[in-house]
Structure 1
Amino acid sequence: MDASLEILDHDSQDNNGRENQPFEERTGVFLKQWESQVRPYIEMIDYLRRIGIEKDLALPSIAVVGDQSSGKSSVLEALSGVALPRGSGIVTRCPLELKLRKLNAGSNWTAIISYRDVQETFTDPSQVEGYVRRAQNVLAGDGVGICDELISLEITSPDVCDLTLIDLPGITRVPVKGQPEDIGDQIRRLILKFIEKRETINLVVVPCNVDIATTEALRMAQGVDPNGTRTLAILTKPDLVDKGAEADILQVMQGKVVPLKKGYIMVRCRGQSDINENISLTEATRLETEFFRSHSHFSYLLEEQKVTTRCLATRLTKELVEHIRASLPSLTEQIQIRLSAVRLELRNYGQGPPLEPEKMGAYLSKRILEFSDQISEICRTGASGEGNIYSLLRPVFKQWECHLRNSKASCRP
């Protein structure tokens, strides 16, 4: 077993042991070793996506889906440490690739947003929402429409984990003013483009205060992943659970309602009331841990590493890296097959132009003469790759003659 697998296995087998260690020890040497092992995998896939390989091959990724008002934006906000667009109606109007890269303590926060031919760098976290909204307006137009073009937002900071997510528009059923009648179908088609790929881990966000079996996001995930092997569910808004309904939520967490191989994680993120009260993301993280620690029904989930945003971040990084590792043999084979096909096609084009300036003139003269010879041969025999050129042109000339004859009366000397 290589070093990276040992790190992953250690993490899954020794959660309880590390929980009892001092915080400094848990975030010291072990964490640095973890980061050094997982980052190459994530950066490799990001590089392949950046150079356009995803146009031909599906790459391992995590897609975030949820019904409107499921708390999806709040989860991403907690993971990234920045305020993303939120509000009523469709907030995520384009797929947003959120790349989080952890820096050493003391490093400065930096973000790069890219879409189409635009790339902008900024250093103020409070500007993230404005940049994302501006990008969405450019791609999807002003208003409430959607677009399938990708926006890439890379955040480097000491306060994030190494992780890449793709945030997708929230699922809606009823169009609002200014939206086309089929907006719901448009969103579903866009989501399916991502979640139906076998290389995608589907991260489904579901609020605790609704019937999980009826949520559209989970239904779509089950449709493309009926065995639940690549679906992980996040339960949000546990503070809104009705008194007496906590046992039902625990049944969900244990996989007794909708079984999922990757299971469930529960988080309590900032709500709109917390934002109105100016509660920072750091304070919200502390309050989240305190909420679960003091909860009479959910506290034991804290020891099992099944609650809090911190546990979610670690779990997602681990899932993504394992998924990338499992996909590498197939991905390598597909790249080799495509590469062989391209090399074969290139051989059919013959030798390319020389790079040396002194040879370019002779090469161009040779190509012009060859082209001239081919034209002369076609004129002599009429033979071409599409058939006899005279047979092909005869109907065209006949049509042209008829047009001239018909227009004769309208011509005045």
Structure 2
Amino acid sequence: MSASLNNSYERNVRPCIDLIDSLRALGVEKDLALPTIAVIGDQSSGKSSVLEALSGVALPRGSGVVTRCPLELKMKKSRNEDFWHGKINYKDYEGEIKNSADVEKIIRKAQNEIAGALGISDELISLEITSPNVPNLTLIDLPGIVRVSIRGQPEDIGEQSKSVIRKFITNQNTILLVVVPCNVDIATTEALRMAQEVDPYGERTLGILTKPDLVDRGMEDAVLSIINNEAIYLSKGYMIVRCRGQQEIMENISLHEAMRKERDFFNTHPYFSKLYDEKKATIHNLADKLTHELVHHIEQSLPLLKEQIQSKLAETQGELNRYGSGAPTDPEEKIVFLTNKITAFNQDAINLTAGEELKNLPQVNIFSSLRKEFADWKTDLQKSEEKFKKVIEKELKEYEEKYRGRECPGFLNYQAFEVIVRNQIKELEEPAVARMNDISDLIMNILIHLSEANFKEFPQILKIAKTKIENIKETKEKEAESMLRTQFRMELMVYTQDSMYSDSLKKLKLMEEKAERQAHGVAYPRSGGLYKQSDIEDAMEELTRHLKSYYSIASRRLADQVPMVIRYIMLQESAKQLQREMLQLMRLNDIDVLLEETDDIYIKRNNLKSRQDRLKKALKRIIIS
């Protein structure tokens, strides 16, 4: 590649990668998934050697889990041939690295501070390297997959390492770089199996084969089959590299010399030389491949990333609106703030009684619940009326046997009518009171939720509001119960307008005649015809008809009156009483105590503001990129 083309390439590549690095530095990865390349591999797969060859610096090596924290490796190509600079970030620490030989020691120190001497953590360490010998590329090196723990390590160290890996590779915006040695069966490697779990079709996985110099004679064709995507298919294909082995490290073979030896190895290899010609081999070609994949991936992801940030910003603003802005510090402004809070709550309470939308509980409409409760009450009355029809004959017979005096059979007096009606209506009194108590609980629970929505950040006001709601509930339940019981005592008078009673009786007769027509084709008179009855039976039947007619009137009256009592006292009067008592809070002198916030709310609001700030910065950077 000519110098001019190379410079043009770098001008296109570096800003693209820097954009994602800057978003990660802002902490945006806490909120949404950023496009990246994650490197995974089993122990002794050659993963560290690949990263060393790419970065030009020695990374921690050894037995057991060496990479114990995810390592973000940011490589920036410098045009200055004699320049090398390193920078490391983790937790709250940021430090410069002046000598590349110190990198391994500094990373080990960082891992020990984060995860202890032998533990594993998912907390990220960021290592930035600027050098003329590195590609423009950012990778995240993940802990090696452990099969057996060594002395001092937790027994579940293997599962811990997999848990950290899954956290990163599950992200659909992550390209998976799976490192596998040539001298093992690729199908049995844990790294490839984990990649297939999250990427079953291999759409975002790139395979890297290492240690080609250890391939047994006669197995070269099998390796070529893998590289040519004929064994386990991956959309992004495979690359093969040869890095420094342990013996070469002991012999102090430099990384630069190791790359020369790698090039010679593939150039002269009887089987693998054509892979070099196809640019499927060597660290140099791997770097180019990875850079191209990452830049292309970032470019493809940016439109969606922009949409996600905008959506997250809207969501964050919505949460901030729910938590409010917090109380002001100025005394006069505090009074205005408290007044506005209480006024808003009171308005919501009044809107609740009118069935209008609530500002802080927009999804709540109490009348939908009340309609169901009142419909159930009407159903109770209908069931009672049906039951009454069935027990009338029994009640009349018992009265005839127990209470008839000197009158002749069939001449049951008005007292019988009253006793039977009163007994049946009396049975409805306790269910009506129970229904009122259930609805009272429903209304008060909604008022509690309303107070929580309005005052959740101010525990003292919320505590006072809840106490007032409970006290009002107790008081209004007694009032409503008293009024309901009064209503039932009035019902025991057995009264209705003559015209209403006549209309009800006439309607019942018409219904009976209609039923007879449907059954027999003609309506027969009560005394005579095919179904002629005795005078006593006629009298009993007539009284039955009167009982049914009156009970129907009383039932219709109760169907409306009981809900009206409940709605008036438990909903409207409770809300008005609550409004009056909440307004009294503004007369108190301890406004500062009322407006004290919980630590959780304060921290949550600050976290939301921080998220909002970084998302706004991220969106701005994407727009101008």
Q: TM-score, normalised by structure 2?
A: 0.55
Q: Is residue 53 of structure 2 the alignment partner of residue 53 of structure 1? A: no
Note the alpha carbon deviations across 1:273-300, whole angstroms, 9 max, x for none: 0011110000000000000000000001
1:367 to 326, 330, 334: 334
Distance 1:224 1:139 in 2: 28
Shift of 1:233: 0.6
Aligned partner of 1:73 in structure 2 is 48
More helix by share: 2
Aligned partner of 1:218 in structure 2 is 192
Shift of 1:206: 0.2
Aligned partner of 1:331 in structure 2 is 305
Q: Is residue 100 of structure 2 the alignment partner of residue 133 of structure 1? A: no
Shift of 1:347: 5.0
Q: 1:313 and 1:364, CA in 2 relative to 1: closer, same or farther beyond 3 A?
A: farther
Q: 1:211 and 1:337, CA in 2 relative to 1: closer, same or farther beyond 3 A?
A: same
Q: 1:82 and 1:390, CA in 2 relative to 1: closer, same or farther beyond 3 A?
A: same
Distance 1:135 1:27 in 2: 40
Q: CA RMSD in A?
A: 2.5
Distance 2:105 2:270 in 1: 40
2:250 to 270, 276, 279: 276
Shift of 1:157: 0.8
Q: 1:334 and 1:375, CA in 2 relative to 1: closer, same or farther beyond 3 A?
A: closer
Aligned partner of 2:233 in structure 1 is 259
Note the alpha carbon deviations across 1:286-324, whole angstroms, 9 max, x for none: 000000000000001111000000000000000000111
1:388 to 459, 466, 472: 466
Aligned partner of 2:268 in structure 1 is 294
Greater length-normalized contact order (CA 8 Å, ≥ 6 residues apart): 1
**Matched position secondary structure for 1:235:** strand
**Matched position secondary structure for 1:166:** strand
Q: 1:252 and 1:195, CA in 2 relative to 1: closer, same or farther beyond 3 A?
A: same
> Aligned AA for 1:227?
Y
Q: Is residue 221 of structure 2 the alignment partner of residue 247 of structure 1? A: yes
Q: 1:242 and 1:43, CA in 2 relative to 1: closer, same or farther beyond 3 A?
A: same
Q: 1:348 and 1:182, CA in 2 relative to 1: closer, same or farther beyond 3 A?
A: closer
More strand by share: 1
> Aligned AA for 1:366?
E
1:146 to 117, 120, 126: 120
Shift of 1:390: 4.8
Q: 1:133 and 1:364, CA in 2 relative to 1: closer, same or farther beyond 3 A?
A: farther
Shift of 1:373: 9.1
Note the alpha carbon deviations across 1:48-81, whole angstroms, 9 max, x for none: 1111111110000000000000000000000000
Aligned partner of 1:122 in structure 2 is 97
Q: 1:288 and 1:347, CA in 2 relative to 1: closer, same or farther beyond 3 A?
A: same
Note the alpha carbon deviations across 1:373-392, whole angstroms, 9 max, x for none: 979999xxxx8714522567
Q: How many residue pairs end up in the alignment? A: 359
Distance 1:88 1:214 in 2: 21
Distance 2:166 2:325 in 1: 43
Distance 1:312 1:343 in 2: 43
**Matched position secondary structure for 1:85:** coil
Aligned partner of 2:386 in structure 1 is none
Note the alpha carbon deviations across 1:62-105, whole angstroms, 9 max, x for none: 00000000000000000000000011111000000000001113
Shift of 1:168: 0.4
Note the alpha carbon deviations across 1:228-276, whole angstroms, 9 max, x for none: 1100010000000001111111111111111111011000000110011
Shift of 1:341: 2.7
Q: Is residue 167 of structure 2 the alignment partner of residue 193 of structure 1? A: yes
Q: TM-score, normalised by structure 1?
A: 0.82
Structure 2 unmatched runs, 5+ = 346-446, 453-464, 472-625
Shift of 1:28: 1.1
Note the alpha carbon deviations across 1:207-239, whole angstroms, 9 max, x for none: 000000100000110111111110001000000
Distance 2:60 2:273 in 1: 31
Distance 1:392 1:174 in 2: 61
Distance 1:196 1:351 in 2: 36
> Aligned AA for 2:281?
V
Distance 1:89 1:298 in 2: 32
Q: 1:235 and 1:374, CA in 2 relative to 1: closer, same or farther beyond 3 A?
A: closer
Share of identical aligned residues, percent?
Answer: 56
Q: Is residue 108 of structure 2 the alignment partner of residue 30 of structure 1? A: no
Note the alpha carbon deviations across 1:161-212, whole angstroms, 9 max, x for none: 1100000000011111111221111111110111111100000000000000
> Aligned AA for 1:138?
E
Shift of 1:106: 3.2
Taking the TM superposition and a 5 Å limit, the aligned residue runs for 1:390-409 are 390=468
**Matched position secondary structure for 1:388:** helix
**Matched position secondary structure for 2:105:** helix
Deviates further, 248-257 or 229-238: 248-257
Q: 1:228 and 1:377, CA in 2 relative to 1: closer, same or farther beyond 3 A?
A: closer
> Aligned AA for 1:153?
L
